[in-house]
Amino acid sequence: MNVNSIATDKRQLSRLGYALLLILALALPFLGFMDRSKMSVAVLAGIYVILGLSLNIIVGYAGLFQLGHAAFYGLGAYTTAILSINYGVPVLLSIPIAALIAGIAAIIISKPILHLRGDYLCIVTIAFGEIFRIAAVNNIFGITGGSNGLFGTARPEFLLPWIEPIPLITLIAILIVYAITVRKSPLNVQLLGGAAIALAYYLPPLITGQEPLFVLSIVMGLLGLLVASMTHNFSYREAGALWGIAVVFALIMLIGGGNLAGAIDQGVRDTFKVGDPIEGPMGMTFVPVAFKRDPIPYYYLVLIFIIITLVGMLRLQDSRLGRAWLYVREDELAAEATGIDTTRVKLAAFAIGSAWAGVAGTLYASRFTVVSPDSFDFLQSVIIFCIVVLGGSGSIPGILVGTLGMVVLPELLRDVAPTFLIEGIGPFAILALILAFYIHSRRQHLTKAALEAGAIALAFIAPTLLTAQPSLYLAGIVAALVGVWIASELNRRDINPIPWLWGGAVIYIALLTLAGQGLAQSLSDGIHNFRITDWRDGLMGAAMVLMMILRPAGLIPERRRGIVFSAVAEVGEGESVSTPQLA
Amino acid sequence: MNRRVLAITVLVVMLVSMSVPMSVGAQEGEPILIGLQGPMTGDYAYEGQGFQKAVQLMVDLTNEQGGILGRPVELIVEDDAGDPTQAALVAERLVDAGVVAVIGAYNSTATEPASEVYHEAGILHITPSSTATRLTEKGFEQFFRVCFLDDRQGLFAVRFMDEVLGAERIGILHDNSTYAAGLAEWTRYYAEEAGLEVVFYDAINPEDQDFTPILTNIGEVNPDAVYFTGYHAQGGLLLRQTADLGLDIQWIMGNACNNPELIEIAGVDAAAGTFITTEPLPQDLDYPEAREFVELFEETYGEPLTSIWWLMAAEAFNVIRYAIEETGSTDTEVLADFLHNEFHDFPGLTGPIIGFDEKGDRLGTIHVAYIIDEDGNFVLYPEQPAAGEEEEAAPAEEEEAGEAEEAATEEESTAEEEEGG
Amino acid sequence: MEKFLQQLINGLTIGGFYALVALGYTMVYGVLKLINFAHGDMFMWGTLVGWALLAALVAPLAGMDLVAILITSVVVMGVIGAVGVTIERVAYRPLRKAGRLSPVISALGAAFVLEALARNATEARVKVYPQNLLENLPSIPLIGGVSLSGLQLLMLITCVLLMVGLYAFVQRTRIGTAMRAVSLDHDVSRLMGINVDQIITLVFFIGPALGGIGGVLVGLYYRSFDFTLGWIFGLKAFIAAILGGIGNIPGAVLGGFVLGIVETMATAYGGAGASAWKDAIAYILLIIILIARPTGILGETVAEKV
């Protein structure tokens, strides 16, 4: 097996991973345990995924520090809200405007500061984020509504797809995008694939006379686009796959026919607000359909944007610009030496990332209908930043994991008091983990390690046994961690930790047994009154410290693509500390 | 090949695991679920937790008396941390839980997205403390509030400065929160209407500690009276620094400053002689219902009921209870219709509720002026502006102005102390 | 003129506080080239610990305000200094060789932890310092109606004394010399027989200790605080440090006073609305200085090492 085949194998694996994820994401609203509120969390998480991906362009790809990302997110949200409330611009139409404004603002702002070094850049971006918030609070130009923000952004509206000329327009749009995507393939292959899309799109609804089936046609068209854009080489094989999909869809539509159309019609009326038909020019009719509060349509809307973002990013990664970012990130001087205009490249990262954050802002504004300065403050910037950095800077799966940790988990754990820390086998599992970790680190001296661990275990368990206060396990966890720390410090200095540990354990046990009642009570209260929202920032901070110490490249680090100049360059994450050894 | 099999298996398993959502109908003897949404954590946690205590106490009392319509009441509390995003999410949770009515949220920013959720779900929604005009402008027929709007307070403040203090040149200072800015705007509007000259109008940054620069500016202009519409933490600092600078400014402060901490921060010397325009304190309310409840609250929780918003939250529960009992129904439409049309002169904890107007706002107003005396107590000021056209609804053009300003939120601990100081 | 003088005094007072906190930033940056984001929150913890101690001491030491304040200040210096050393050990030392960005993220994390602890300790409420402390200090009348209150004078004197003391310590003592050596080059300092780790620990004691005492002074002067104090004040102080030239002790002091005066004058003469934009003015000042003269007012131009 040569190197190349391993690479392709890995690539296929990750493609399979993406496909599975996509299926899971598509099916999510229908899973049994998903209720309305969990769907709402999923929508919010989706918005954060887009935000994370957009910041990833700046932080992950180009290696620039950006702690004011929420400002551009907010800029998009405010743009949409203002356009919608004051000028009645439909939300979906305001997406390009929001992106444009956020992108232009990013170019104007970042141009003068791009030459700054990492930590200076960081503080300047914080300052910009704060200036944005202050401007919004101060009702700048009288358009931001002050500290309560703006109320009443419209929900997304679109025109019902099964009334002419919408299907035709949609088909043409899909075909244009398709043609751009596969422009590098031979013409006959292009035509073959395009024909599959067009036929499966138009024929079945016309034959059966069931116009609601155009909804399925559009799904089919989008799937076709997906197939075309995910592949690197659009060849006969992919065109064949497209035909396969087209046939399946056509069969479903032809056989399902009337029932399917009826179900779709009913479903649309249940989920959306269907307006009265509007007479357009030349005898055309349009039926406006608006979102309701129901999270499921939002979910799919956000999902579509995530897919667009992902596809765009995967293609950006390998583009000329993407490689230039990598180069700049790894070594700016060397990049400049090879003729890359580093300022422009960095500016492009800022502009694209910020514009995309503006799009996420639009989605936010249309989902929550309220935009207020508090939703785009420094904390939000840090949350987005953490999604990228803790998940794995530059790594797309890392961002998904980061969002799960930073957004989804706190929501799901909302009502959960961490009683497992003091009840059942929870404390023992924690103890076992701590000790296993410790003994593993001292595996050369197992007997000694066991003796040391014994003291820690005793200190952990004894107070609870003696006082019958399970909440003292909480103190025990702290004591065990301190014990492990003392032991490793003493070992490092060649001092035998055993007497210290056992002595400490005895004193600790005596103290807690004698005076632990009050402590036990307050610990128990603390556990039962624990609200994760109170501690979310603190836990996030602790995670930042821990991750930087244990896994500075993030939970799922980016698989390094190419160019490593020297061994030293790998030490700092994305930070060049040595002169490149250009060989 | 194997992977494809795996993928298909996963897909099949997922499809199988789909389940049909079950609908739960309300049965006899099953508890009536009432939702409470408020900031249990975050910057306004103090108010949210007070909501919970007050409403839970009312729920317990109700259950002791046999519940509503013979059914026990169960309170479901959700925490929105005062944040609009969270507010929308927890509102969905309450809807999922199947509540009949919801009390909350605390601040207008959180109430707004939540009210959309409840409106679409068709759930009766009463806010105890969100005073933004905009909230009731949307025509949600199941949305009500038991608090009063801020244009009334602005009018009262102007009449007080004009008729009682005889001020001619006044200053207005707010803190840029929408509540304070809205109140300031209304005050300016009514002041100009009353022929007072507004010689100073500006905002402070509530995150600041040091207000000496702006105070020095006010001293330079030297108005007869200055109305501060922001919150007590900054109000206290303003009073303190006024004294430190040796300036002679007659301060009048809005209801957000009605908190003993104002005097603590300022010090008694600096605070004495300051006027506060506000709803009456519980001990000055001559309503037996209020007194009893305040006493019971202290007995139960071992701490005084310090904020009028807690009382308003309990009030909201009473309104819901009364409506359900009178109509014998838990149907939102029936309840909303009852509250709009047949709900009059209810003996409320914060005074009789004359009724709700067609927008769902509480009718009437109860503002009075207090003065801080030499011992640091809030004392009802003997002279009050003559009761006049206060009940008169704001004219049409004012309402438009109000919309533009999005007047009014109560955001921070606008606390009313039972014992002033 | 009278108004100008009064505003100048106002600006100097707040500038003194900025300067005191800026010293901690500048010292840490000097030796580690690290933005210690947690510094602002350590300062806030100084206010918090000071508040708790004073509340406990006021009754037993009734009538001896100055004694209570002195005891409080000393304890707060010790406690906050220890917190600083601990944070350095836990969050920064393991990252000493990990490039430049990891420690910054770690510092930000530490700041969040400190702030969350304070939020829960105070239940997110405004806390008020004990009444009537230092109430009867005489105020000093200057020309016209302008006066310098006794408290303002006390604060200014304390700030200046601490800064002069620190400067003398760094310039005149052996340890101070070692500190300056470490800030120039860790490796060479080590070769000269300086225990670099000890010096860094010392810096992380002195900086937060000064910040902590600044916190007590702020609490005494403004009487009330909440847990958000650290972030805003910290950011402003950091701006002051950059303004003066980061890594430079007199620069931090100068930067603090300049920032205080600029903010005050902008509010005083900026017309209506300027007060609400005060923070934004500070940030804009920061951006301008970073673009135009990144080394600050007193900083020297040093060729950037790559």
pLDDT in tens, A83-123: 888 887 888 888 899 999 999 999 988 888 887 777 788 88
Which runs of consecutive H residues, i.e. helices, occur in A369-425? Answer: 378-392, 396-403, 409-412
Residue C305 has pLDDT above 50, yes or no: no
pLDDT of residue A78: 93
pLDDT of residue A6: 42
With beta carbons under 8 A apart, name residues in chain B contacting A82. Answer: none
Select C2-292's CATH number: 1.10.3470, 1.10.8, 3.80.30, 3.40.190. 1.10.3470
Q: What is the mean pLDDT of chain C?
A: 84
pLDDT band for position A2 (50/70/90)? Answer: very low
Residue A181 has pLDDT above 80, yes or no: no
pLDDT band for position B161 (50/70/90)? Answer: confident
DSSP codes joined into one string, A202-235? HHHHHHHT-GGGHHHHHHHHHHHHHHHHH-SS--
Going from the N-terminus, what domains does chain B have, and what CATH number goes with each? 32-148+285-341 (3.40.50.2300), 151-278+367-405 (3.40.50.2300)
Say yes or no for a CB contact (<8 Å) between A333 and C235.
Answer: no
With beta carbons under 8 A apart, name residues in chain A contacting B86. Answer: 533
With beta carbons under 8 A apart, name residues in chain C contacting A116. Answer: 290, 294
CB atoms < 10 A from the CB of B16, how many?
A: 9
Q: Which of B85, B113, B178 sits opposite A147 (nearest CB)?
A: B178
Q: Which of C135, C149, C275 sits opposite B205 (nearest CB)?
A: C275
pLDDT of residue B387: 59
pLDDT of residue A371: 86
Taking the C-alpha atoms of residue A385 and residue B364, their distance in angstroms, rounded to an integer, is: 49
Crossing angle between the packed helical segments A295-317 and A36-56, to the nearest 10 degrees: 20
Q: What are phi and psi of B121, to 5 degrees?
A: -85, -10
Say yes or no for a CB contact (<8 Å) between B138 and A152.
Answer: yes
Distances in Å between the Cα of A269 and the Cα atoms of A27, A291, A428, C55 are 21, 11, 54, 64
Residue B9 has pLDDT above 60, yes or no: no
Taking the C-alpha atoms of residue A5 and residue C188, their distance in angstroms, rounded to an integer, is: 50
For chains B and C, CB pairs below 8 A equal 104
Say yes or no for a CB contact (<8 Å) between B134 and A32.
Answer: no
Residue A360 has pLDDT above 90, yes or no: yes
Residue B394 has pLDDT above 70, yes or no: no
Is residue A50 within 8 Å of residue A355, measured between CB atoms? no
pLDDT of residue B417: 33
When mean pLDDT is compared across A360-369, A516-525, B66-75, the lowest value belongs to A516-525
Is residue A483 within 8 Å of residue A504, measured between CB atoms? yes
Say yes or no for a CB contact (<8 Å) between A545 and C277.
Answer: no
Q: State ipTM.
A: 0.87
- pLDDT: which is higher, C97 or B297: B297
Whether residue B304 is preceded by a cis peptide bond, meaning omega within 30 degrees of 0, is no
Percent of chain C that is helix, strand, coil (3-state, to 5):
75, 5, 25
Please list, in sequence order, all residues whose beta carbon lies within 8 angstroms of the beta carbon of residue A434, skipping any fewer than 6 positions away: A456, A477, A480, A481, A484
pLDDT of residue B204: 87
- The alpha carbon of residue C137 is apart from the nearest alpha carbon of chain A, in Å, by 37
CB atoms < 10 A from the CB of B342, how many?
A: 11
Taking the C-alpha atoms of residue B63 and residue C16, their distance in angstroms, rounded to an integer, is: 59
Whole-model pTM? 0.81
Say yes or no for a CB contact (<8 Å) between B14 and A35.
Answer: no
Say yes or no for a CB contact (<8 Å) between B244 and C226.
Answer: no
Q: Is B77 on the interface with A (CB under 8 A)?
A: no
CB atoms < 10 A from the CB of A117, how many?
A: 12
- Cβ-in-10-Å burial (0-12, 13-18, 19+) of A270 comes to exposed
3-state DSSP call for residue B33? strand
Closest by CA to A102, choosing from A286, A352, A392, A285, is A352
Q: Which of C3, C43, C58, C131 to mutate to test the interface with B (most CBs of B within 10 A)?
A: C131
Q: Which of B214, B267, B269 sits opposite C275 (nearest CB)?
A: B214
Handedness of CA B127, B131, B132, B135 (dihedral sign): positive
Residue C205 has pLDDT above 90, yes or no: yes
Taking the C-alpha atoms of residue B93 and residue B118, their distance in angstroms, rounded to an integer, is: 11
- The alpha carbon of residue C269 is apart from the nearest alpha carbon of chain B, in Å, by 9
pLDDT of residue A113: 82
Q: Which of A20, A146, A367 sits opposite B176 (nearest CB)?
A: A146
When mean pLDDT is compared across A134-143, B273-282, B339-348, B395-404, the lowest value belongs to B395-404
pLDDT of residue A283: 65
Q: Where are the domains of chain A?
A: 1-33, 38-155+293-412, 159-290, 419-529
With beta carbons under 8 A apart, name residues in chain B contacting C124. Answer: 41-43, 45-46
For chains A and B, CB pairs below 8 A equal 116
With beta carbons under 8 A apart, name residues in chain C contacting B38. Answer: none
Q: Which of B53, B92, B137 to mutate to test the interface with A (most CBs of A within 10 A)?
A: B92
pLDDT band for position A13 (50/70/90)? Answer: low
When mean pLDDT is compared across A159-173, B146-160, B206-220, the lowest value belongs to A159-173
Q: Is B216 on the interface with C (CB under 8 A)?
A: yes
Average confidence (pLDDT) over B154-183 = 84
With beta carbons under 8 A apart, name residues in chain C contacting B46. Answer: 123-125
3-state DSSP call for residue B311? helix
Percent of chain B with pLDDT over 70: 82
Average confidence (pLDDT) over A160-183 = 77
Q: Is B117 on the interface with A (CB under 8 A)?
A: yes
DSSP C90: I
Please list, in sequence order, all residues whose beta carbon lies within 8 angstroms of the beta carbon of residue A168, skipping any fewer than 6 positions away: none
pLDDT band for position B286 (50/70/90)? Answer: low
Q: Which of residues 106-135 of C touch B (CB under 8 A)?
A: 123-126, 128, 131-132, 135
Say yes or no for a CB contact (<8 Å) between A538 and C113.
Answer: yes
- The alpha carbon of residue C115 is apart from the nearest alpha carbon of chain A, in Å, by 7
Average confidence (pLDDT) over A474-484 = 79
Neighbours of A (≥3 Cβ pairs closer than 8 A)? B, C
pLDDT band for position B411 (50/70/90)? Answer: very low
With beta carbons under 8 A apart, name residues in chain C contacting B43. Answer: 124
Tokens 């006493």 found at: B295
Is residue A260 within 8 Å of residue A216, measured between CB atoms? yes
Residue B383 has pLDDT above 80, yes or no: no
DSSP B71: B
pLDDT of residue A11: 54
CB atoms < 10 A from the CB of B59, how many?
A: 22
